[in-house]
Amino acid sequence: MRIIDKDSYGTLAVVFIIAAIFIYVIWKFVPVAWVKWPLIVFAWVFCIWQLFFFRVPSRTPAGSDTIVTSAADGKVVIIDEFFEDEYLKRNCKRICVYMNFFDVHANFWPVTGEVTYYKYHPGKHLLAFKPKASEENEHTSVCIRTQSGQEVFFRQLAGTFARRIVNYAAPGLQVKSGEQCGIIKFGSRLDIFLPLDADVKVALGDLTKACETVIAQIR
């Protein structure tokens, strides 16, 4: 069953109100049928797209405390070794998934464990696929410690059009892989930082589905 993200009701209400006003104005003041009807259809299609965009899809979780799944739908745009200097303070394997306008933007816990760190960072709104966006854009940072003591760190990263990131993390919270952890509204990226000995299961250009695509295995 598909539902709408609980933190997006207000956004959708604004979209539908604006669309209703737009349709009324077009219906009232545009007499030319071949102009009026395409505009009305466009407004309805836009509303339907927004419902699709903010949905929380029903998925079958494939993750655990050792199997790391993608936290977002999208495309793998970066796989590299990267020094995480905010919390882990060490080199990690970094996997970045870019979400376009047609991907689901609800995000999900990538691994089962305990939240040990959470911080929201205000910032810029550079294009999300640019390297500097990871540090300079508005983002949240979360670290999860698994039962074996491994740490998985991830960032929800706002893009050019995103202006609000929602995350349910709090230190001490017990989380389960595949459950929703939040949402990023409009174009964005999600970066996951893994131990260097993690066995990465995806390649550049792969398309991922949150909860179902295994991106790595850790000890």
Sequence-ordered list of residues with C-beta below 8 angstroms from that of 119, at least 6 positions apart, any chain: 86, 140, 141
The three-class DSSP label of residue 68 is strand
Q: What local confidence, expressed as pLDDT, does residue 1 receive? A: 43
> Which of these is catalytic: 64, 141, 177, 188?
188
- Outline where DSSP puts E strands in the chain: 3-4, 55-56, 67-69, 74-84, 90-99, 106-108, 113-121, 139-145, 151-158, 165-167, 174-175, 180-184, 188-194, 199-200, 207-208, 214-217
- From the options 1.10.150.110, 2.70.70.10, 3.40.50.300, 1.10.260.40, give the CATH code of 67-217: 2.70.70.10
Residue 28 to residue 36: CA distance in whole angstroms: 10
Residue 72 to residue 174: CA distance in whole angstroms: 20
Q: What local confidence, expressed as pLDDT, does residue 125 receive? A: 57
Q: What local confidence, expressed as pLDDT, does residue 215 receive? A: 97
Contact indicator for 188, 158 with CB cutoff of 8 Å: yes
Low pLDDT (below 70) residues in the chain: 1-2, 123-136, 159-163, 187
Active site residue 64: no
Where in the chain are the domains?
3-56, 67-217
- What sign does the dihedral 208-209-210-216 (CA atoms) show? negative
Q: Which pLDDT tens digit goes with each residue over 20-30?
A: 999 999 999 99
Q: What local confidence, expressed as pLDDT, does residue 87 receive? A: 96
pTM to 2 decimal places: 0.84
Q: Which pLDDT tens digit goes with each residue over 80-109?
A: 999 999 999 999 999 999 988 888 889 999
